[in-house]
Amino acid sequence: MSVYTLVKSADLNEWLPRFAIGAMRQLQGITEGLTNSNYRLSTERGDYILTLIETAEEDEELRYLVALMSHLALRGLPCPLPICDIDGEAIHRLAQRPTLLVTCLPGRSHETPNAAQAAQIGGWLAQMHRCAESFRQQRNNPHGPNRWGGMLARMTPRLQQEDPDLLMLLRSALESAQQELFAVDAPRGCCHADLFPDNALFDGERLVGVIDFHYACDERFVYDLAIALNAWCFDEVGTPDAKRLARMVASYQATRPLPPVERRLLRPALQAAALRFALSRLHDEMFPRTGHQVTVKPPETYIRILRYHREHDIAHPLD
C-alpha cells in the first residue's frame, strides 16, 4: 500500500463543502499504487477517489491530466472524470499537496488478464491514440529517456559490485533505445504511458474503464503500445503469451492500423518499454521512498522481459 501523506477526517470535513458531493461517510487509504497517496472517499452522493500528488508535478502538468481525462471521457472513452469545486476548479490543495478528486469507477483489475481482456485494452489504447488528433495540449514525458541515464548512473556503483552483467544489459539497452527509437521520427500524441493491468477495471469480461493518467504525456504511439503489450502479454517470469499478443495487436489495428514506420519501430519500442520499468523498479528498490505504507514492485519481471526482447523478435510475426 502506498500512502505517503495522511489525511485527517477533520481536514477533509473542512475542505469538502467546496464540492457539491454531500457530506463524508467514509475515507479509506487504498492498498494499490506506487507513486501518490490515494483514498476512496464515500459521501452521501457516491464514491470518489482522492489523490494527493506526491511527485513534483506542477499545476500546469495537472491541468494537462484534467484536460486529457475530460477530452477522452467526452469522446466516449471510459475513464474517471475530474470533479470541480464550486468555482469550477479541478486542482486543489490538501495537506500541503496538490490534490485531485475524480469519480470512482466500478469493477476490478485482473493481475493475470486473459486474451479477451487484453484485446479490449488494445482497442481502448487505439481509440485514445485516435483521440490525440483533436487534443492540443502537450506534456513532456516525465519518465522519458532523458531521465534514464541519471537513474542508471546513480545505481551504477551498486550494480558494478552486485551484478555487472545486468549493468551491461541496461547500458546497451539504453544506447539502443536512444539510437533506434527515440532518435527516429514517428507518429506521436497523447499517450497513457502506464497502461498496466492494475490500471484497467473490468466487470467480468467487460472493460469498465482505464485509470491512473499520472504518467500520461506526449510520446510516440508505438512506445505506448509497447508498454501495454509488455504489461498485458508477458507473465511474471518474462514469458510471452502468443494469444494475448496476437489479440491485442489485432484489436489495436482494427481501430488504428500501424503505419510502416511503427511496424519497424515495434521491436526497439518493446525493448525501450521494458527498460523503462526495469530501471524505475530497480531504482525504487535501491532507493526506497519513505511513507506510511509503501509498495515496491519486483524489477526481475521487467529485467526478464528486457532480456527476452534483446534475444527474440516478437514484432515481425505480429505483422
Ligand X SMILES: N[C@@H](CCOP(=O)(O)O)C(=O)O
Ligand Y SMILES: Nc1ncnc2c1ncn2[C@@H]1O[C@H](COP(=O)(O)OP(=O)(O)O)[C@@H](O)[C@H]1O
C-alpha grid cell, residue 52? 494527493
Radius of gyration of the chain (CA): 20
Choose between 251 and 280: whose C-beta lies nearer to ligand Y.
Answer: 280
Q: Does 33 bind ligand X (CB under 6 A)?
A: yes
Amino acid at 169: L
- Decide: is 130 part of the binding site for ligand X (CB under 6 A): no
Report whether 11 contacts 42 (CB < 8 A): no
**Binding residues with ligand Y: total (CB under 6 A):** 19
- Cβ-Cβ contacts under 8 Å for 130 (sequence gap 6 or more): 255, 256
Q: Least Å distance between CB 276 and ligand X?
A: 9
Which residues ranging from 102 to 131 are in contact with ligand Y (CB under 6 A)?
102, 104-105
| Amino acid found at 108 | R
SS3 of residue 140 by DSSP? coil
Strand, coil or helix: 29: strand
Residue 212 CB, nearest approach to ligand X (Å):
5
Site for ligand Y in 197-256 (CB under 6 A): 198-199, 211-212, 214
Number of residues that bind ligand X (CB under 6 A): 11
**Closest chain position to ligand Y (CB):** 33
Q: Is 142 exposed, middle or buried (0-12, 13-18, 19+ CB in 10 A)?
A: middle
Cβ distance 32 to 198 under 8 Å? yes
Grid coordinates representing 90?
479541478
196 binds, among ligand X, ligand Y, none (CB under 5 to 8 A by kind): ligand X
Pick what 80 binds: ligand Y, ligand X, none; C-beta below 5 to 8 Å, kind-dependent.
ligand Y
77 binds, among ligand X, ligand Y, none (CB under 5 to 8 A by kind): none
Q: Name the binder of 105 from ligand X, ligand Y, none, CB < 5-8 A by kind.
A: ligand Y
Site residues for ligand X, 150-179, by CB under 6 A, read none
Site string for ligand Y, 28-47 (x = CB under 6 A): --x-xxxxx-x---------
Nearest to 173 by CA among 316, 310, 315, 311: 310
Query: Which partner, ligand X, ligand Y, none, binds residue 102 by CB below 5 to 8 Å per kind?
Result: ligand Y
Query: Which C-beta is closer to ligand X: that of 2 or that of 251?
Result: 2
Among the listed ranges 98-106, 227-235, 236-244, 256-264, the one in contact with ligand Y (CB under 6 A) is 98-106
Please check whether residue 205 is in contact with residue 116, taking contact to mean a CB–CB distance below 8 angstroms: yes
Q: Which residues contact 127 (CB under 8 A, 6 or more apart)?
A: 75, 77, 255, 256
Task: Give first-to-last CA distance, the chain, whole Å.
Answer: 40
Residue from 7, 35, 145, 210 that binds ligand X (CB under 6 A)? 35
State the virtual CA torsion across 195, 231, 54, 17 in degrees, nearest 10.
40
Distance CA 57, CA 301 (A): 28
Selection from ligand Y, ligand X, none that 297 binds (CB < 5 to 8 A by kind) is ligand X
| Interface with ligand X (CB under 6 A) | 33-35, 194, 196, 212, 214, 277, 280-281, 297
| Interface with ligand Y (CB under 6 A) | 2, 30, 32-36, 38, 49, 51, 80, 102, 104-105, 198-199, 211-212, 214
